[in-house]
Structure 1
Amino acid sequence: MMKRIVVLLLIITGLYIVFYQSFQFNGFAFGGSKDGRAELSKTIDSIEINVGSVRTTIIPEDRNDVEAVLTGKGSLTVKKTGNRLLVETKKEMFNWFSFSGKRQLKVYIPKDFNRNMNIQIGSGSLDFSGKSMKLNKLSLDIGSGNVNLDQLEVDEFTHDGSSGNVEIDTLTTKTGTFDLSSGNLDIKHYTGSLNADVSSGKFSVQMDKLNDSIDIDLSSGNVNLDLPDNADFTLNGNVSSGNISSEFPLTTTNSDKKSLKGTHGSGKHKIDISVSSGTVTIN
């Protein structure tokens, strides 16, 4: 009899802990709002945003600190770590009744910040309108989810995407590196060098100006490269299984089933394309 009572008490205690952890914020309202901020001193070289299962919006403002507001369940951290300023969210251990659509994070940053930003998204979504922000480095690491970026000028841009959909409108960079495992990446109004490695998915880029080299390695999927009419380039395209086509008239053309080579205009900038399986269209 005593043993049954002990077991019953253990079960009740366990259930209490589970429900207490699940509903400790705002009862059954799936969490309240959490707020954190930290001053952005001159010693801070980078802002790092590490989030998952949350809808995130980055908002540049006239301010000298970084503030983050999380709505919904989970924890929020805003702190300085060495020369970094970290914004991080975590879900609760027993957060069984949480819906990611209910979780929203707004991150307010100084609009004149011009150093480095590293953004890691496990899942969820990201909206970031740079409003003509100029950054030294911007690194984007996406597990899954949807991302929208626009109006950014970056010396060095890096994108690493596992899956999901990414839309970029107006990106000017000296060097742009894109690694797409699967999903869709759509870029409009791009300027700068371009290095893309597409394992599987759809990669589309429209360039306002061709002022540097392009290197694309496609394992499987589709690539669409939209160049300005007056682009000067030398194309070196090779195919294992798939197709490369160009709507540009090419001179000194060497073309067969496995390759497409030639120049347009002065041929100043190199375009190297390698296709294992898939389709590349240049227009």
Structure 2
Amino acid sequence: MKRLIGLICILVGVLLMIGMLFKNGDLFHLSFSKEQAVTTASAKKDEIDQLDISLSGFRVKVKPENRSDISVMVVGGKGKMYAEQTGGTFKVRAENKGFLFFSQFEKGELLVKIPTDYHQDVKITGGSGVSEVNGEGKLSLQDVTLKSTSGNLTAENFSAKRVEIKATSGRLSVSHIDAKESDIGATSGRADIQDIKGKLQLGMTSGRLTASFDTIESPVDFHMTSGSATLNLPDEGDFKVQVKKTSGSVDHSYQFDQADSEGRGFTGTRGNGAHLVDIEMTSGNLKLR
């Protein structure tokens, strides 16, 4: 028994030493890199066409502020940040190279401050972290691209010309977005979509999705592959919901002015049906409320 306990202690000690080595950038890949890790970086907004942020094991929070430069700052955790300005692109890379499960308790935190009069592109891609983009109704951007692999992604309260938001597993929350075109997709996990104005393309593969609309004044395309989805439709408006399904079920308690079910299809009309909500289902369960 004592021998077993001793072996366990040795094994734990070895794991701890390996973990320390992996977290020490000077002993591994960072020692061969010319990049210099920093805790703060900034770029003048008038020189930047795109803010490009990539994350690995990092939390990020984006907020608007009355300022003349785009600012990024590491505010917590054990991660490292690298930043450079290449032409009109301000590139920021934040990563946590912690060892295995220890990294879960030491995620770095990145605070990004964007000038309220910055009207160009924002791109954020990340994995195993938390991304929060809140424009507070003060950001009006050009192209916004947000992609997350695991973790949580929240995007709310901003306007843009084009928006692309994609999440794989984890939790996706998107609300109060005003864009000419939006492409939002979720694969597994849970997605909550609310009050998206403008043309919307929505996609879901497995998982659970809830989409709520205050108004429908533009076309909506929804492609659903398995999982369950609930669409909360507005009380008033002029729209037509058209469902085509290979299999699965459609449950509608919404009070359409006219509803028709034929074979594998369903059509429900409210008002004059001017705006089409086109839904294609491969399988799964759909509720219209």
The verdict on a shared fold, with TM-score over 0.5 as the criterion, is yes
Aligned to 2:5: none
Tell me the distance in 1 between the aligned counterparts of 2:91 and 2:64: 16
2:121–2:144 contact (8 Å) kept in structure 1:
yes
SS at match of 2:23: helix
* TM-superposition CA deviations, 1:118-160 (whole Å, max 9, x none): 1101111012221111111111111110122221112211112
Query: Residues 89 and 211 of structure 1: is their aligned pair in 2 closer, same or farther, counting only changes over 3 Å?
Result: same
SS at match of 2:48: coil
**One-letter code aligned to 2:167:** G
Aligned to 2:77: 72
**One-letter code aligned to 1:147:** L
Aligned to 1:5: none
Q: CA deviation at 1:242?
A: 1.0
Query: Residues 280 and 24 of structure 1: is their aligned pair in 2 closer, same or farther, counting only changes over 3 Å?
Result: closer
**One-letter code aligned to 1:79:** E
Query: Residues 95 and 151 of structure 1: is their aligned pair in 2 closer, same or farther, counting only changes over 3 Å?
Result: same
% identical equivalent positions: 25
**Aligned partner of 1:236 among 234, 242, 255:** 242
1:35–1:67 contact (8 Å) kept in structure 2:
no
Larger proportion of helix: 2
2:52–2:92 contact (8 Å) kept in structure 1:
yes
Aligned to 2:60: 56
Q: CA deviation at 1:219?
A: 0.8
**Aligned partner of 1:159 among 157, 165, 176:** 165
Aligned to 1:145: 151
Query: Residues 263 and 80 of structure 1: is their aligned pair in 2 closer, same or farther, counting only changes over 3 Å?
Result: same
**One-letter code aligned to 1:74:** G
SS at match of 1:100: helix
**Aligned partner of 2:121 among 108, 116, 138:** 116
Tell me the distance in 2 between the aligned counterparts of 1:121 and 1:54: 8
Tell me the distance in 1 between the aligned counterparts of 2:19 and 2:208: 43
Matched, 1:40 2:44: yes
Q: CA deviation at 1:18?
A: 7.9
Aligned to 2:199: 193
1:156–1:173 contact (8 Å) kept in structure 2:
yes
SS at match of 1:42: helix
Q: CA deviation at 1:181?
A: 1.7
Query: Residues 82 and 276 of structure 1: is their aligned pair in 2 closer, same or farther, counting only changes over 3 Å?
Result: same
* TM-superposition CA deviations, 1:24-57 (whole Å, max 9, x none): 89xxxxxxx9522122242421111111111211
Aligned to 1:210: 216
1:100–1:124 contact (8 Å) kept in structure 2:
no
2:258–2:270 contact (8 Å) kept in structure 1:
no
Tell me the distance in 1 between the aligned counterparts of 2:129 and 2:188: 16
**One-letter code aligned to 1:114:** H
Tell me the distance in 2 between the aligned counterparts of 1:107 and 1:154: 18
Aligned to 1:262: 268
SS at match of 1:208: coil
Q: How many pairs align?
A: 261
Task: List alignment gaps of at least 5 residues for structure 2.
Answer: 1-15, 27-36
* TM-superposition CA deviations, 1:34-85 (whole Å, max 9, x none): 5221222424211111111112111221112222222332321122122211
TM-score normalised by structure 1 residue count? 0.83
* TM-superposition CA deviations, 1:81-123 (whole Å, max 9, x none): 222111211334x746743343222122212211111110111
Say which is worse superposed, 184-193 or 133-142, in terms of deviation.
184-193
SS at match of 1:266: coil
RMSD: 2.5
1:54–1:100 contact (8 Å) kept in structure 2:
no
